[in-house]
Amino acid sequence: MQTSRGLVEVPPAQASIYAVARMQAEAGIRVARRLDPNWRPPTSLTSTIEGEIAHQRAVLRQAEQFVLSRRRGIGDNGGPPLEPDIPPRSLGELVAPEGRIIGIRAKGAQDRIRTISPEEMERIVLSLTYHGRPLKLHDRYQGVWYEGVDRCVVGIRFSESFGLTLDVRDPGGDRRFKELKLHMKGQ
């Protein structure tokens, strides 16, 4: 997979963890730079995937601290620093914000497989991972499970054939989303 240090070969589960960490770090950088275009994230010389994941998490932490320091006293609601940009959402609000499931169905494919835009993928992953919690389910899933704010359980994994993929393991009560699979367009 592509990291900030170039192409490295990593197990699928770690690739998924790295993808989440990187997406969160990039969101943190965006928010910090909106407050100060000159804000710079910490640098890293790591060459391992574990180091890359730790680095991306450090970037997020520093961005959050910077955002907090700027917002303190100007209407800060005490919530997570990036919450205004990454609001908490239920699974239904994320995958069917207007009632119908987002994305398009590939020709000849089942209707529980949807292809969504990179923007939609980022919106779902960030909300789910920033406000949810990672789960250790001790199964053989080749990605990482997250429990969302409405107790849904969604997996994030790298598929060699389809790229970043979301798997709805537990739809949190709405069977419409049971084992819904979302791929990102253009991978």
Partner 1 sequence: MRTDLTSRQTGTPILDWIEQIHTNIEDYDVTLGLITAAGISDFGLSGDDLVEFARRCLEKLMAVGAIPVLHEGNDYCPFVPTLRYGRKPEDIVENILASWQAGGGGVTGWGEYSFTMPENILPEWLERWEQGLPVDPEVH
The b/e string for 116-149 (b: 16+ C-beta within 10 A; e otherwise) is: beeebbbbbbbbbbbbbeebeeeeebbbbbbbbb
| Interface residue with partner 1, options 46, 117, 142, 187 (CB under 8 A) | 142
Tokens of 19: 């993808």
Minimum CB separation from partner 1 for residue 136, in Å? Answer: 14
| Interface residue with partner 1, options 101, 128, 164, 166 (CB under 8 A) | 101
Handedness of CA 182, 127, 171, 94 (dihedral sign): negative
Place of tokens 């949807």: 114
| Interface residue with partner 1, options 45, 100, 136, 186 (CB under 8 A) | 100
| Interface residue with partner 1, options 105, 118, 134, 151 (CB under 8 A) | 105
Binding residues (CB under 8 A) for partner 1: these are 11-13, 100-101, 105, 108-113, 139-142, 153, 159-162, 167, 169-170, 175-176, 178-179, 181
